[in-house]
Amino acid sequence: QKALITGVTSYIGAHIAQKLLQQGWSVRGTVRNQAKARWLHDTFKAGSRFETVEAVDIQKKDSFAEAVKGVDVVFHVASPFFFDIKDPYEDLIHPAINGTTALLAAVHENAPSVKRVVVTSSYAANMKPHPENPNYVYTEEEWNDDAFEQVKKEGKNVPGIIAYIASKNEAERAAWRFVEQNKPKFELAVINPVYVFGPAIHHVAKAEELNTSVALVYAFLNGSKPSLAPKGPHTNYVDVRDVAEAHIKAATLPEAAGQRFILSGGPFSDNLIAAAIKKAYPQFADRLPKEGWNEKEVAKTEIDNSKSRKVLGIDYISLDKSIADTVESIKQFVQ
Ligand code: NDP
């Protein structure tokens, strides 16, 4: 069995590749940076079972025309994930939407061998605000169209995080629309992860290059976070190894076709992350924020994760383990 992963050099893409290789698959990955690609070749040591091909402009279907040929399944992971933007459309929304439709069109037109495409969306595409009900529990039925409306209203002044949320919701909408309109031979499945923590195995040359979700944990160790805040809405975690496993199950289980799956191991908060770091790495205790500790804080569950457990069989890694393993993989950056 052979898989294509777009954005294989990403935090999540590298884990999907590693797990597929461990399970005996051959893996082709698209990359835009050769140093990051070389790092993965050196990490995996999988010989001819792992290859990388260049796809610099993910918004053009020609970039994927050769890459998709002869593979059985495709994972579309590549999409910009950062909040420091100049233009919401150029930086985030266009690459997310056009990247998704370009990839799907390339598969549709060039790759009859592909049985399933799994798109990495995000819980951002589910978390429609419900201010009227603080106890609202989210499921896969939910869509978050509000963020894009805000982008349309505020243009370049929109906060980067809102533009990112819109980019994920609109890209996932575009994927389902593509399938509905083109009736391709392949089936679609979508993964909607919450904040992803766990070990970074992809190429990271310096702390500033850490991907957005792991950087959130790093902020507890580098002194940039003055105090711990109480749990806010939509702070839920999932471990990157569970995310990789869920992608593979979504690509291979017949009952996953045509479905979207929220992945959440449960809620997290500043207090719970700090407590997990203190427990696993007492030597870092004095680096943690000094203010705002509340050992008694109970984080509220906001998400029903039963679909991913039932259909994909995910048995979620705990927050404590996920945070401890995140720190293990980035502790070389702590000065
Ligand atoms: P990364 O920043 O590590 O991954 C982003 C990937 O997309 C990288 O491979 C990057 O390439 C590629 N990419 C981004 N923009 C472009 C572009 N314009 N052209 C070509 N390639 C591009 O973060 P993650 O691994 O966390 O993100 C992977 C996916 O998971 C994304 O779709 C993200 O939205 C989604 N996701 C992540 C969550 C998280 O908490 N981490 C939660 C929910 C969803 P390069 O490697 O060259 O930089």
pLDDT in tens, 271-323: 999 999 999 999 999 999 999 999 888 888 999 999 999 999 999 999 999 99
Q: How confident is the model at residue 328 (pLDDT cuts 50, 70, 90)?
A: very high
Amino acid symbol at 139: T
* Cα distance between residue 73 and residue 152, in whole Å: 35
- Look at 53-57, 160-164, 239-243 and tell me which has the smallest mean pLDDT: 53-57
pLDDT of residue 243: 99
Q: What is the model's pTM? A: 0.98
Residue 209 above 90 pLDDT?
yes
CA dihedral 321, 323, 329, 331 (to 10 degrees): -130
Asked whether residue 116 carries a pLDDT value surpassing 90, the answer given is: yes
Ligand 1 mutation pick, 4, 5, 12, max ligand atoms within 8 A of CB? 12
Q: Which residue type sits at 137?
A: V
The model's pLDDT over 11-22, given as tens digits with 9 standing for 90+, comes to 999 999 999 999
How much is the pLDDT for 223? 87
Q: How far apart are CA 191 and CA 112, in angstroms?
A: 23
Rounded to an integer, what distance in angstroms lies between the CA atom of residue 38 and that of residue 71? 22
Q: What is the mean pLDDT of residues 89-112?
A: 98
Q: Can you tell me the distance from the alpha carbon of 68 to that of 71, in angstroms, rounded to the nearest whole number?
A: 6
Q: What homologous superfamily does CATH list for 2-199+237-266+301-317?
A: NAD(P)-binding Rossmann-like Domain (3.40.50.720)
268 CA from centroid of ligand 1 (Å)? 22
Query: Ligand 1 centre from 9 Cα, in Å?
Result: 9
Strands 2-6 and 26-31 come out as: parallel
* Higher per-residue pLDDT: 131 or 46: 46
**pLDDT range class, residue 134, cuts 50, 70, 90:** confident
Res 87: pLDDT: 98
Pocket lined around ligand 1, Cβ cut-off 6 Å: 7, 9-13, 32-33, 36, 58, 77-81, 95, 120, 122, 168, 193, 195-196, 211, 213
Whether residue 213 is predicted with pLDDT greater than 90 in this model: the reply is yes
Give residue limits of the domains in the chain. Answer: 2-199+237-266+301-317
Task: Judge contact between 160 and 85, C-beta under 8 A.
Answer: yes
Q: What letters, b where the CB count within 10 A reaches 16 and e where it falls short, cover 109-134?
A: ebbeebbbbbbbbbbbbbbeeeeeee
**Alpha carbon nearest to ligand 1 atom 39, residue:** 196
Q: What are 155-208's pLDDT values in tens digits?
A: 999 999 999 999 999 999 999 999 999 999 999 999 999 999 999 999 999 999
Measured in Å, residue 283 CA sits from the centre of ligand 1 at 32
Among residues 158, 165, 159, which one has the least CA distance to residue 80? 165
pLDDT digits 0-9 by tens, 246-275? 999 999 999 999 999 999 999 999 999 999
* pLDDT at position 66: 96
Nearest to 145 by CA among 127, 120, 164, 118: 127
Q: For the chain, what is the mean pLDDT?
A: 97
